[in-house]
Amino acid sequence: MIDIHSHILPGLDDGSKSLEETLEIVRQLQKAGFETILTTPHVIEGTDYLHPDEILASVEQVRQAVIESGIPVQILPGAENYIFPEMAKWVREGKLLTLGNTKRYILVELPLMEIPRYTDQVFFDLNVEGLTPVLAHPERYREIIAEPERLIEWAKRGILFQIDFRSLSGRYGPQVKKLTERMLSSGLIHFIGSDAHRVSHSESDAETLQSLRQIIGEEKFEEVTVRNPQCILEGKEIRVNEEYVLKNVDIKKKKRGISRFFKI
C-alpha cells in the first residue's frame, strides 16, 4: 500500500520531532501494510513558508535513515499545501511541491472550520497549470460535514479526495466517521493517508484498514491504496467515475454479517 499523506519529516512542522520518532512512525506504518510513504509537511504562505528544497533535503535524510535501519519502506517527497489565492502563481515559480514531485497532482488543505470563497477559483487555476488538486481529508471539514453534496460538485470537476483512514475508526468524532462511511460507500474516495504526525499508541490501524476493505471491497481497496497512488508516482492520469451519487448507507447494518470475523 501507498500512504500519500504523512507528517514524518523531523522538525519541519507539527509532526515528528526527531529522526528517532520518524523511524518509529515508519515502522508502525510498515507493520500496518504500507510499503511507500509520501512525506507531506504543511506548507503555508507567510512567515512559516517551507521551501521545496528544505523538504527534499529532509526527505533524503529520512530515506537514508530508513535504509540504514533496514525498514522495507520507500520514502518519497510531497507537501500538504494550505490553500491561498496565489497557489497557481507559486506553482509556476517552483515554490510548491507536488505529490511525489511529479508535477501532476497537488495535495491541498482547506481550513477545518470554513471553505474560503476563492476555493473554486484556486482549483480552476491549478487545473490550468496542468495540476489535479487532491483534497486532503474532506471528511473533516465542518462545512463539508454540513453540506456533503459539495463533494459531488467538486468530483464532477475532477477534484480527487484523500481520506485519513483513521477517520473511519472514530478518531475525529462520530460526524467525521459517518461522512467517511458515506464517501466510501459512494465511491468518493481516490486515496487514503495516515496523516501520521507522531507515534501512535493504538494498535488498531490494521483493523481499521480491514474494515475499510470490507466496506468498499477488494477491487476498490486495491484501487485507492495501490493503483491510484501509483499513478501519482508515475505522473499518469487517473480515470474517475463521472456519475457520482452521494449515498446514505447504514454501514452498521452492512457490516453485521461479517462482525463475528472482524470484531466491528
Q: Would you state the pLDDT for residue 221? A: 97
Report, as an integer, the average pLDDT of 58-85: 98
Q: Would you state the pLDDT for residue 48? A: 84
Residue with cell 490553500: 83
| CB distance 190 to 161 below 8 Å | yes
Residue spans of alpha helices (H) in the chain: 19-32, 52-68, 87-92, 119-128, 142-146, 149-156, 174-185, 205-222, 228-234, 251-255, 259-262
Instruction: Please write the tens of the pLDDT for every residue from 180-209.
Output: 999 999 999 999 999 999 998 776 899 999
| Grid cell locating 210 | 480491514
Q: Would you state the pLDDT for residue 253? A: 44
Q: Would you state the pLDDT for residue 132? A: 98
262, pLDDT greater than 70: no
Domain harbouring 131, CATH code? 3.20.20.140
223, pLDDT greater than 60: yes
Count helices and strands in the chain by DSSP H and E runs: 11, 9
Q: Would you state the pLDDT for residue 15? A: 96
- Name, in order, each residue with C-beta under 8 angstroms of 4's C-beta and a sequence gap of 6 or more: 38, 40, 78, 99, 107, 134, 162, 191, 192, 193, 229, 232
212, pLDDT greater than 70: yes
Q: How many CB atoms lie within 10 A of CB 193?
A: 26
Contacts 24+ apart (CB under 8 A), 121-126: 121/85, 122/83, 122/84, 122/85, 122/87, 122/88, 123/154, 123/157, 123/159, 125/87, 125/88, 126/87, 126/88, 126/91
Domains in the chain: how many in total?
A: 1
Report pTM.
0.93
| CB distance 17 to 28 below 8 Å | no
Instruction: Please write the tens of the pLDDT for every residue from 144-163.
Output: 999 999 999 999 999 999 99
Q: For the residues of 184-218, what is the DSSP string, one character each? A: HHTT---EEE--B-S----S-HHHHHHHHHHHHHH
251, pLDDT greater than 60: no
264, pLDDT greater than 60: no
Q: Would you state the pLDDT for residue 239? A: 84
Share of the chain above pLDDT 70, in %: 93
Beta strands 2-3; 36-39: pairing state: parallel
More confident residue, 245 or 85: 85
Q: Would you state the pLDDT for residue 245? A: 86
Structural domain of residue 236, as residue ranges?
A: 2-262
Euclidean distance between CA atoms 154 and 141, whole angstroms: 14
Residue 241's pLDDT band (cuts 50, 70, 90): confident
Instruction: Please write the tens of the pLDDT for every residue from 18-53.
Output: 999 999 999 999 999 999 999 999 999 997 899 999
